[in-house]
Amino acid sequence: MIRALIFDVDGTLAETEEIHREAFNEAFVACGVGWFWDQALYGKLLRTTGGRERILAHAATIGCEVDAAAIHTRKTNIYNDKIRTGSIALRPGVEALIEHARRSDLALAIATTTSRANVTSLLQATLGRTRLGWFSSIRTGEDVAAKKPDPQVYRLVLDDLGLNGRDCLAFEDSENGLRAANAAGIATVITPSVYSAKDDFTGAVSILPDLQSPDFWPEKGLPALVRLS
Residues 143-162 that bind ligand XBP (CB under 6 A): 148
**113 is a site residue for ligand XBP (CB under 6 A):** yes
Min dist. Cβ of residue 177 to Mg ion (A): 5
State yes or no: is 8 an active-site residue. yes
Find out whether 25 and 31 touch, Cβ atoms under 8 Å.
no
Separation of alpha carbons 76 and 53, rounded Å: 14
Name the burial class of residue 107, with classes exposed (0-12), middle (13-18) and buried (19+) by CB atoms within 10 angstroms of its CB: buried
Separation of alpha carbons 199 and 78, rounded Å: 28
State yes or no: is 10 an active-site residue. yes
Q: Which does 118 bind (CB under 5 to 8 A by kind): ligand XBP, Mg ion, none?
A: ligand XBP
**10 is a site residue for ligand XBP (CB under 6 A):** yes
Q: Exactly one of 5, 25, 37, 50 binds ligand XBP (CB under 6 A); which one?
A: 50
**184 is a site residue for ligand XBP (CB under 6 A):** no
Find out whether 81 and 27 touch, Cβ atoms under 8 Å.
no
Give whichever of 25 and 176 is closer to Mg ion, judged by the CB atom: 176
* Binding residues for ligand XBP, total number by CB under 6 A: 18
Residue in 10, 150, 173, 199 annotated catalytic: 10
Find out whether 106 and 4 touch, Cβ atoms under 8 Å.
yes
Q: x/- contact string, 190-229, with ligand XBP (CB under 6 A)?
A: ----------------------------------------
- Read off the amino acid at residue 36: F
Give whichever of 69 and 224 is closer to ligand XBP, judged by the CB atom: 69
Q: Which does 175 bind (CB under 5 to 8 A by kind): ligand XBP, Mg ion, none?
A: none
**11 is a site residue for ligand XBP (CB under 6 A):** yes
Site of interaction with ligand XBP (CB under 6 A): 8-11, 17, 20, 49-51, 76, 112-115, 118, 141, 148, 177
**Catalytic residue numbers?**
8, 10
